[in-house]
Chain A
Amino acid sequence: MENLIALLIAAPLLGAAVLLCGGRRLDAVGHWLGTLLAGLSFVLGVVLFTDMLGKAAGQRAVTQHLFSWIPVAGFQADVTFRLDQLSMTFVLLITGVGSLIHLYSVGYMEHDERRRRFFGYLNLFLAAMLLLVLADNYLLLYVGWEGVGLASYLLIGFWQHKPSAATAAKKAFLVNRVGDMGLSIAIMLMFTTFGTFAFVPVLHSADSAGEGKLTAIGLMLLLAACGKSAQVPLQSWLGDAMEGPTPVSALIHAATMVTAGVYLIVRSGAIFNAAPDAQLVVTVVGAVTLLFGAIVGCAKDDIKKALAGSTMSQIGYMVLAAGLGPIGYIFAIMHLVTHGFFKAGLFLGAGSVMHGMNDEVDMRRYGGLRTYMPVTFVTFGLGYLAIIGFPGLSGFFSKDKIIEAAFAKGGAEGWILGGAALLGAAITAYYMTRVMIMTFFGEKRWQPDEQGNEPHPHESPGVMTIPMIVLAVGSVFAGGFFSIGDRFVHWLEPVTGHAEGNSPVSAMTVTVATLVLLVVGAGIAYAQYGRRPVLAVAPRGSLLTRAARRDLLQDDFNHVVLVRGGEHLTRSLVYVDHTLVDGVVNGTAASVGGLSGRLRRLQNGFARSYAVSMFGGAAVLVALTLLMRAV
C-alpha cells in the first residue's frame, strides 16, 4: 500500500509536465485533465487514509524508498517518502482543497486564454507541496519547499502583462529567498550536528545535541517559516501576492503553501522542545504577527487584501500555538486545517464576488450583494462565522484551544500571549464583520468602470459554487468533528506528542471571554459600517488607520532599513571592488600584458638570434643537468 505514496506526487507532476509541454492542442481539455489528476491524487490520498485508519495508532507511519539521490560516502540523500498522521492530514487538505479549487478555476479562468498553463502551474504546485509534506528528510523537503516557491512565483505573476503582478511575484520570490536561506543554513547545521538530515535520526537524537546548536537550528527554521508563512518580519509579500488569480490566493496563499512554515515547526518539534529560547521567539513572532495581520486587515478596502491580512493573522495563531510546544502542536495543525476550509471558502467567495462585479476589488464599491449572489452570500457568511469563532463552527473550536494553550504557557509569558490571542480574536471579529457588511449588506455602491460598463452582479456558475458549498460544509463541521472526543488529538498524538496544558484560567473563562470580545468586535464594526452609510471614498482616518492601510509601514521600513542599507553596502562593496580588487586584478593583467609585449620583442624574426637562444638554452640545460648532479 505504501507504494502508492509516490503516485500521490506523480499524478499532479505528470499533469504539470503534460500541460506545460503539451502545447496548444491541449487547450480544449487541459483544465479538465489538470482537475482530473488533482482529483486522482485526492482519491489516492483517501485510499491511503482508509488504509491507515485500519492500523493501530503506533504502526501508522509508513515510508517508501524510491531511490538514492546522492549516494556519496558520508553524505546520504535519499528520495524517501514518509506518510504518517501529520503528512496524511496535509495530504488530504492539499489534495482535497486543491481539487475543489481546480474545479472552481475551471469556471473562474474560463475566459483566460492561458488557462492550460494556469492548470499546469496549479498541478506543479500540488506536486511540490505534496513533496514538501511527504519528504522523509529535510533535503527532500527543501526541494518541495523551493518547488512551491516557484509555483507561487509563477502564479502570483500569472497575469504578467500587469506590471503590478510581475512586481508582486518578484517581491514574493525575493522575500522568500531570505527564508529559504534560513532553511538551507538549518539543514547544513543539522548535517554538521547529526551527520544526516533524515527526520527520524535527527529528531530522535535531538536531545543529544547542545542547546546552543539546537537554538541556532530552531531559529533558522523559524526564519524559513517566516518567509514561507508571511510572518513578521518577512510578511511583506503576502498582501501583494493577491495580484495573482483568486483561486491561487485561496489555494496557495491561504489554505496550503503559507502554512508550510507551521508544518516545518511542528515537524521539527523535537528540536524546538529542546531549545526553549527558540520556542519563545516562535511564540513572540506568532503573537506579533497575529496582531499585525489583524490590524492591517481592519484598514484594507481591497477585499482580497483584507483577507490576506486575516490569513497572516490566523497563521500567526498557528505559529503561536506551534511555539508553545507539545501543548500547542496539535491545535496549531487543527487550526491549520479548519482555516484551510474557511479561508479557502472566503477567498473563493471573494473571487465569486469579483467574478460578478467585473473584477472590482474595492469593498467600498460593493454593498447589498446578498440578494444578487445568494449562494456566495451564504457560503461566505458561514466562512465568516467560522473564522470569527462563532460557537459551534470550526473556528470556535480550533481558535479557542490555541488561546487556552497560550494561557497555559504559564507565568507572565502565558498572560501576555493569551492576552494577545484574545485581543486578536476581537479584532478578527471586527474586520471580518466589516468585510461582511461592506460586501453583502447596506446600499448598492457599485459604479461603472472606466469603460462605462455598469456591473451586473450575478451568481457564479455551478463549477464555482459547488466547491464553495463543500468548503462551507467543512467550515461549519470540521472543528466540531475534530474536537468531539478529542479525535484530532488522538490522531496526531503519536507523531507530535501531546501534553495537556495547565492553564491558570479555566477553559470556560477563556470561552466566555472570547465570546464577549467577539460580540464587542463585531458590534463596533456594525456600529461603524452597518449603522452608518459606507463612504465611497475612504476617509482620511486616524494615524493608526493610515499606517495600517500602508501595511503598518512594512514596505517603508524595508525600504529604509534594508533597501537603503543594502544600497549603501553594495556601493561600498563596489567601491572596494573597483579600487582594490580590480586594482590588483588589472594591475596583474597589465603587468602580464607588459611582460608579454617585452618578451614578444625577443621574437625578432632573425634565424640567427633564434639559434643563439637555442644555443643558450642548450648550454643552460647542460649546465643545469650537471649542476643537479653536483648538488
Chain B
Amino acid sequence: MSTAAVHSLWTTAADPISKFQAPKIEYGQLSPTLIVIGAALVGVLIEAFVPRKSRYYAQVFISVVALAAAFAAVVALAAGGYGTTKAHIAAMGALAVDGPSLFLQGTILLAGLLGVFTFAERRLDPEAHGNRVDSFAAQAASAPGSESEKAAVKAGFTTTEAFPLLLFAVGGMLVFPSANDLLTLFVALEVFSLPLYLLCALARRKRLMSQEASVKYFLLGAFASAFTLFGIALLYGYAGSVSYATIAQVVDGTVANVDPALANTMGNDALLLVGAAMIVMGLLFKVAAVPFHMWTPDVYQGAPTPVTGFMAAATKVAAFGALLRLLYVVLPGMRWDWRPVMWAVAIVTMLGGAIVAITQTDIKRLLAYSSIAHAGFILAGVIATTQNGVSSVLFYLAAYSFVTIGAFAVVTLVRDAGGEATHLSKWAGLGRRSPLAAAVFAVFLLAFAGIPLTSGFAGKFAVFKAAAEGGAIPLVVIGVISSAIAAFFYIRVIVLMFFSEPRPEGPTVAVPSPLTLTAIGVGVAVTLVLGVAPQYFLDLASQASVFVR
C-alpha cells in the first residue's frame, strides 16, 4: 500500500466529525416504541434495585403507565394525521409511520395492557406460605421439584421479571409491523421473540410442561428465524439493498442497478423468489399458518395461560402487520407469484386448523387450533391485495385479539385442586355451576365461530368480502366450509357447558381481582360493540389502510 493511500486512510479516519452525518430521528413519532422500551429498561433496574416486596407493585405500575402512555401517543399521532396525510418513513428509512402501523401498534398496546392485567392477577391460586402468588414460577432458575424451588416458594419469591419481559416483547412487536427495512424487521422479530420464549417457561404449575413448551418454541423459532435471515440475505443479493422501497423498485424494474459490487446477482429472479419465500415462511411461522403451526398447540398449552393469551393476540397482530407490509410494499410487483402460494397456505391453514381442532380434548389446545384456523381466515383477507383487504385484516386482528385475551382470561378462572382445569371433560355443566363465567365464555366462542352480533362475524364478513372482491371466490367457499367445521367444536363446548350434567368433583370458577375482570369485561364489551355497531371501526380501519412507500 502506498504512503498516500495510508495517509488518506488515516486522515479519513481521523476526521470523522466533518464527514459524519448525524441520523435524523423523529423521536416524537417513534415515541410509542421508545416509551415502552424505556419502561422495560426501567423495569430491569427495578429488578436490580427495588426491594423484593415492592417490586410487584412497581412493575405493574410502570407497565400500565407505560402502555397507557404509549397508547395515548399512538392516538395523538393518529389524531395528528400521521396515519393518513402526514404518513412517512421515519428514522432514516428504518420505520414507517403510517395508518397500518399506528392501527396495529394501538391494537398491540391494548392487548399488552390487558395482558399486564392478567399477568398481575394474584387472587386465583391459594396463598402459598402466606404470600399471594400469580401464574409465574417463584424462581424460574430453580429446577422443578427441587429444594431450591421449595425454598423460593417459602420465601414468597415471584418472577416479577415477567413484566419487563412483556414490555420488551411489546416493544419488538411495535417495531415489527412498522419496520421498513429487512434488518429492522429481523431485529424486531428477535426482540419480541426472545422474551416470549422466556415467558413461556415461567409457569408456576406444570413447570416441566412449561419448560418443554419454551424449549420447543425457542428451537423452532430459531429455526424459522434462520430461514428468515437467509431469505433476507438472498433478497439483499437480489436488490443490493435491505430497504423496502428499493427492493420494491428493483422488483418493479424501475431501478436496474444499485450496487456495482453486486452486478452478478442483482435482478436474478431466482434469488428474489427463493428469498421472498423464505422470509414469508418466517412470518407464517409466527402467525401459526400450516405447515409451520406445529409449535402452536404445545406452546399454547404449556405456557402460563396469561402468557398464552397475550402471545396469541399480540404476536398474531404484529406478525400479520409485518406480512402485510412485506407483501403490499415490497412484493406487490410479484403478487402473481406469491398469490397462488398464499392461496394454498390459506386453504390448508383454514382446513387444517378447523379439522384437527375437532378431536382436541384440552381447552387450551382447542383454542390453539382455533387460532391456526383464524390465521387462515386472515390470510384470505391478506390475499385480496386491495385496500379493502388491508382494512379487513386490520379490523379482524383488532377484533380477534380482544376475543382471544378474554377467552384465555376465562380459562384462568376455571380451576380445581391441580390449578387450571383445562381438560374439556371438566368443563361439563359449567353453565349450571357458574352461569356468568360460562355465558361470557360462550360469547367469546360465538365470536370465534363468527356468529352475527359478535365481532367475529363482522371481521369474518369483512375478510371474506375483501377476498371475494379480490377474485378469490373458491377461497371464500373453503373459508365458509372451514367456519362450519369450526363452528362444530365451538358450539360443542357451549353444549358441554350448558347442557351436560356437572361432574361431582368438577372445577370451580375462582373469583378474580378487578384486574382479570377488567380484561374479560373489555373483551366482552369490544366483542359486542364491534359485533353490533362495527361501522365506525371498519371506517377507522379503512382510513388506516394505506401503506406509506
Between-chain CB contacts (< 8 Å), 20 pairs: A593-B358, A596-B355, A596-B356, A596-B357, A599-B355, A603-B294, A607-B216, A607-B219, A613-B292, A616-B291, A621-B341, A622-B273, A622-B274, A622-B277, A624-B341, A624-B344, A625-B277, A626-B270, A626-B274, A629-B269
Nearest CB to that of B222 among chain A residues?
Answer: A611
Given that A596-B355, A599-B356 are contacting pairs, would A618 and B215 also be in contact in the complex, using a CB cutoff of 8 Å? no
Interface residues of B (CB under 8 A from A): 215-216, 219-220, 223-224, 227, 269-270, 273-274, 276-278, 280-281, 284-285, 290-292, 294-295, 297-298, 336-338, 340-341, 344-345, 352, 355-360, 485, 488
Of B223, B345, B357, which one neighbours A621 at CB under 8 angstroms? Answer: B345
Of A597, A614, A620, A626, chain B has the most CB atoms within 10 Å of the CB of A614
What residues on B are CB-neighbors of A605 within 8 Å? 298
C-alpha spacing A492/B219, complex, angstroms: 91
Question: What is the minimal beta-carbon distance from A607 to any residue of chain B, in angstroms?
Answer: 5
Interface string of A443-466 (1 = CB under 8 A from B): 000000000000000000000000
Of A597, A607, A617, which one neighbours B291 at CB under 8 angstroms? Answer: A617
Q: A603, B356: Cβ atoms under 8 Å?
A: yes
What residues on B are CB-neighbors of A599 within 8 Å? 352, 355-356
Nearest CB to that of A622 among chain B residues?
Answer: B277
Given that A618-B277, A625-B337 are contacting pairs, would A593 and B359 also be in contact in the complex, using a CB cutoff of 8 Å? yes
Q: A617, B292: Cβ atoms under 8 Å?
A: yes
Cβ of A56 under 8 Å from chain B: no
Nearest CB to that of B269 among chain A residues?
Answer: A629
Of B338, B356, B357, chain A has the most CB atoms within 10 Å of the CB of B356
Cβ of A628 under 8 Å from chain B: yes
Cβ of A75 under 8 Å from chain B: no
Q: Count of chain A residues with Cβ under 8 Å from any Cβ of B?
A: 29
Cβ of A610 under 8 Å from chain B: yes
What residues on B are CB-neighbors of A616 within 8 Å? 291
Question: What is the minimal beta-carbon distance from A235 to any residue of chain B, in angstroms?
Answer: 43
C-alpha spacing A597/B284, complex, angstroms: 24
What residues on B are CB-neighbors of A609 within 8 Å? 294
Question: What is the minimal beta-carbon distance from A613 to any residue of chain B, in angstroms?
Answer: 5
Question: What is the minimal beta-carbon distance from A603 to any residue of chain B, in angstroms?
Answer: 6
Question: What is the minimal beta-carbon distance from B534 to any residue of chain A, in angstroms?
Answer: 21
C-alpha spacing A69/B285, complex, angstroms: 52
Q: B273, A629: Cβ atoms under 8 Å?
A: yes
Nearest CB to that of A610 among chain B residues?
Answer: B294
Q: B278, A622: Cβ atoms under 8 Å?
A: yes
Enumerate the 4 nearest inter-chain pairs by beta-carbon distance, A residue then B residue, closest first: A617-B291, A610-B294, A596-B358, A596-B359
Cβ of A538 under 8 Å from chain B: no
Cβ of A595 under 8 Å from chain B: yes
Nearest CB to that of B227 among chain A residues?
Answer: A618
Nearest CB to that of B217 among chain A residues?
Answer: A607
Q: B338, A625: Cβ atoms under 8 Å?
A: yes
Q: B273, A626: Cβ atoms under 8 Å?
A: yes
What residues on A are CB-neighbors of B223 within 8 Å? 611, 614-615
Interface string of A343-371 (1 = CB under 8 A from B): 00000000000000000000000000000
What residues on B are CB-neighbors of A607 within 8 Å? 215-216, 219-220
C-alpha spacing A354/B250, complex, angstroms: 98
C-alpha spacing A602/B337, complex, angstroms: 30
What residues on B are CB-neighbors of A617 within 8 Å? 281, 290-292
Q: B216, A592: Cβ atoms under 8 Å?
A: no
Cβ of A600 under 8 Å from chain B: yes
Q: B337, A597: Cβ atoms under 8 Å?
A: no
Question: What is the minimal beta-carbon distance from B90 to any residue of chain A, in angstroms?
Answer: 32
Q: A614, B341: Cβ atoms under 8 Å?
A: no
Q: A600, B356: Cβ atoms under 8 Å?
A: yes
Nearest CB to that of A626 among chain B residues?
Answer: B273
Of A599, A600, A618, chain B has the most CB atoms within 10 Å of the CB of A618
Question: What is the minimal beta-carbon distance from B286 to any residue of chain A, in angstroms?
Answer: 12
C-alpha spacing A600/B294, complex, angstroms: 10
What residues on A are CB-neighbors of B291 within 8 Å? 613-614, 616-617, 620
What residues on B are CB-neighbors of A611 within 8 Å? 219-220, 223
Of A592, A602, A615, A620, which one neighbours B358 at CB under 8 angstroms? Answer: A592
What residues on B are CB-neighbors of A620 within 8 Å? 291
Interface string of A506-531 (1 = CB under 8 A from B): 00000000000000000000000000
Q: A628, B340: Cβ atoms under 8 Å?
A: yes
Question: What is the minimal beta-carbon distance from A372 to any residue of chain B, in angstroms?
Answer: 61
What residues on A are CB-neighbors of B359 within 8 Å? 593, 596-597, 600
Please name 12 further chain A to chain B contacts, defined as beta carbons within 8 Å, in addition to the given A611-B223, A622-B274, A628-B337, sorted by A numbering. A599-B352, A603-B297, A610-B216, A611-B220, A613-B291, A613-B294, A614-B294, A618-B227, A618-B277, A618-B278, A625-B337, A629-B337
C-alpha spacing A609/B223, complex, angstroms: 13
Q: A624, B220: Cβ atoms under 8 Å?
A: no
Question: What is the minimal beta-carbon distance from B433 to any residue of chain A, in angstroms?
Answer: 29
Question: What is the minimal beta-carbon distance from B151 to any residue of chain A, in angstroms?
Answer: 31
Q: A625, B273: Cβ atoms under 8 Å?
A: yes
What residues on B are CB-neighbors of A610 within 8 Å? 216, 220, 294-295
What residues on B are CB-neighbors of A628 within 8 Å? 336-338, 340-341
What residues on A are CB-neighbors of B224 within 8 Å? 614
Q: A624, B356: Cβ atoms under 8 Å?
A: no
Interface string of A524-567 (1 = CB under 8 A from B): 00000000000000000000000000000000000000000000
C-alpha spacing A617/B360, complex, angstroms: 23
C-alpha spacing A624/B284, complex, angstroms: 15
Given that A611-B220, A614-B223 are contacting pairs, would A624 and B340 also be in contact in the complex, using a CB cutoff of 8 Å? yes
What residues on A are CB-neighbors of B284 within 8 Å? 621
A563-601 CB contacts (< 8 Å) to partner B: 589, 592-593, 595-597, 599-600
Nearest CB to that of B359 among chain A residues?
Answer: A596
Nearest CB to that of A614 among chain B residues?
Answer: B292
Question: What is the minimal beta-carbon distance from B222 to any residue of chain A, in angstroms?
Answer: 10
Q: B294, A618: Cβ atoms under 8 Å?
A: no
C-alpha spacing A436/B344, complex, angstroms: 86
Nearest CB to that of A620 among chain B residues?
Answer: B291
C-alpha spacing A225/B410, complex, angstroms: 56
What residues on A are CB-neighbors of B215 within 8 Å? 607
Nearest CB to that of B340 among chain A residues?
Answer: A628
What residues on B are CB-neighbors of A603 within 8 Å? 294, 297-298, 356
Q: A625, B355: Cβ atoms under 8 Å?
A: no
Question: What is the minimal beta-carbon distance from B283 to any residue of chain A, in angstroms?
Answer: 11
Of B219, B276, B294, which one neighbours A625 at CB under 8 angstroms? Answer: B276
Nearest CB to that of A611 among chain B residues?
Answer: B223
What residues on A are CB-neighbors of B338 within 8 Å? 625, 628
Of B220, B270, B356, which one neighbours A614 at CB under 8 angstroms? Answer: B220
Nearest CB to that of B344 among chain A residues?
Answer: A624
Of A589, A592, A610, A611, chain B has the most CB atoms within 10 Å of the CB of A610
C-alpha spacing A597/B285, complex, angstroms: 23
Nearest CB to that of B273 among chain A residues?
Answer: A625
What residues on B are CB-neighbors of A614 within 8 Å? 220, 223-224, 281, 285, 291-292, 294
What residues on A are CB-neighbors of B360 within 8 Å? 600
Q: B280, A621: Cβ atoms under 8 Å?
A: yes
Nearest CB to that of A615 among chain B residues?
Answer: B223
Interface string of A386-420 (1 = CB under 8 A from B): 00000000000000000000000000000000000
